[in-house]
Amino acid sequence: MAPSSLLLLLLALSALLPLLTLSLDPQSDYLLLMKQSLVGPTTSRWALPPPSSPSSSSSVCDLSGITCDEAGRVTVIDLSLGFLAGSLPPNICGYIPTLQALRLNHNSLRGGFPLGLLNCSSLRELNLNFTGLSGPIPDLSPLKSLRILDLANNQFSGQFPLSITNLTNLEFISFNENRGFDVWHLPESFAALTKLRVLILSRTSLRGEIPKWIGNMTSLTDLELCGNSHIGRIPAAIGKLKNLRLLELYYNLLTGEIPEEIGNLTSLVEFDCSVNQLTGRVPEQVCALPNLKLLQFYNNHLTGILPPVLGMYASISISSVAEARVNFFIFLCLAINSLENYQRIMQIALLCFGFESITIS
């Protein structure tokens, strides 16, 4: 071998050396980085060997908030409600490629969306609810395994990440209370998320009509679109969402009548369309829903007093409400079929409308 090649070989070997020692226990190395940059009671209790020291990889599995698979590979990091402050160290999945769930909700993180998460191709659950993060959200298309995405209650801004419509395994999406997004409209591509059970997009700068194709998302159990600027009618197609339990549409600019197709939503437990510009009567079908516990529609331009179906047990005459137009109208539809609940409805009517008296005859 020529001396120059020998020299090259030696150089190459010496360049490799630090890499070899560094990767003895990358999981432990990462958690140590985490302990240093996400400071709080949980992480400070973590007993970890200094970086690059040989250690049994099972030790990290005993740390609080860490779950491993049988082979000792970290699958869950759960530091929710951890009173932590700081930031997530970079390249998390370079160190822990087996990560399936990361829960950092209810902590004080600094800065923007942690970009290191983008090569977490095994990640199924990401919970960053109430973490104080801000700035734009990158293209999330690489997170192919994601099922649960909770980015609620942060200060994210810029374009809403429509890339999530590429993540067809998603079952739960919440962006609740991220008021800084540019104004956007629900694109049809959302209909591709056929496994979606929960869609929470309240206070995310959404505009425009609630699209008819929402009726195609038949896996939905929870649809929340409050505090946006939705206009137009509540689409009758919403009546196709047979599994819907929660329908929250309050604080929008919706007009027209409440579609009687809502009466097809036999699983519905809560329906709130308060503070809109809805007109007409509350359809009787809505009050006859078997599972409904809460029905609220105050501050609209609804006409009529109580739907006649409420008078099943007795006829009601309510004094001091002469006009048919009721601007503040709220009651619980809780089972019209028991006298106890019926009296409760009357109590609420007394409290909320300031009626002087209600006569049941």
> Which phi and psi angles does 329 have, rounded to 5°?
-140, 110
| Member of 48, 74, 200, 244 binding ligand NAG (CB under 6 A) | 200
- Of 101 and 191, which has the nearer Cβ to ligand NAG? 191
Q: Are 96 and 122 in contact (CB under 8 A)?
A: no
- The count of residues interacting with ligand NAG (CB under 6 A) is 29
Closest to ligand NAG by CB, 130 vs 297, is: 130
> Is 92 one of the binding residues for ligand NAG (CB under 6 A)?
no
44 interacts with ligand NAG by CB under 6 A? no
Residue 119 engages ligand NAG in binding (rule: CB under 6 A): yes
The interface with ligand NAG within residues 251-270 (CB under 6 A) comprises 260-261, 263-264
- Nearer to ligand NAG among residue 121 and residue 229 (C-beta): 121
Distance CA 196, CA 214 (A): 11
The least CB distance from residue 253 to ligand NAG, in Å, is 23
DSSP annotation of 81 reads: T
At 314, list the tokens: 């007795």
Q: Does 239 bind ligand NAG (CB under 6 A)?
A: yes
The structure tokens 């004094």 sit at 319
Task: Please report how close the Cβ of residue 20 comes to ligand NAG at its closest, in angstroms.
Answer: 17
Side-chain half-sphere CA neighbours of 26 within 13 A = 14
284 binds ligand NAG (CB under 6 A): no
Closest CA to 131 of 77, 87, 89: 87
Establish if 178 lies at the interface with ligand NAG (CB under 6 A): no
Asked if residue 309 binds ligand NAG (CB under 6 A), the reply is no
Region for residue 273 given its phi and psi (left: phi exceeds 0; alpha: psi -120 to 50; beta: otherwise): alpha
191 binds ligand NAG (CB under 6 A): yes
For position 136 contacting ligand NAG by CB under 6 A, the verdict is no
Q: How far is the CB of 327 from ligand NAG (least distance, A)?
A: 26
- Minimum CB distance to ligand NAG smaller for 25 or for 345: 25
Contacts of 141 (CB under 8 A, 6+ apart): 163, 166, 167
Quickly count helices (H) and strands (E) in the chain: 6, 26
Contacts of 61 (CB under 8 A, 6+ apart): 67, 68, 72, 74
Three-state DSSP state, 103: strand
Among 46, 184, 213, 355, binds ligand NAG (CB under 6 A): 213
Radius of gyration of the chain (CA): 27
Q: Which two three-digit tokens encode residue 100?
A: 């399936």
Q: Which residues bind ligand NAG (CB under 6 A)?
A: 91, 93-94, 97, 119, 129-130, 139, 141, 150, 152-153, 162-163, 165-166, 174, 176, 188, 191, 200, 213, 216, 239, 260-261, 263-264, 285
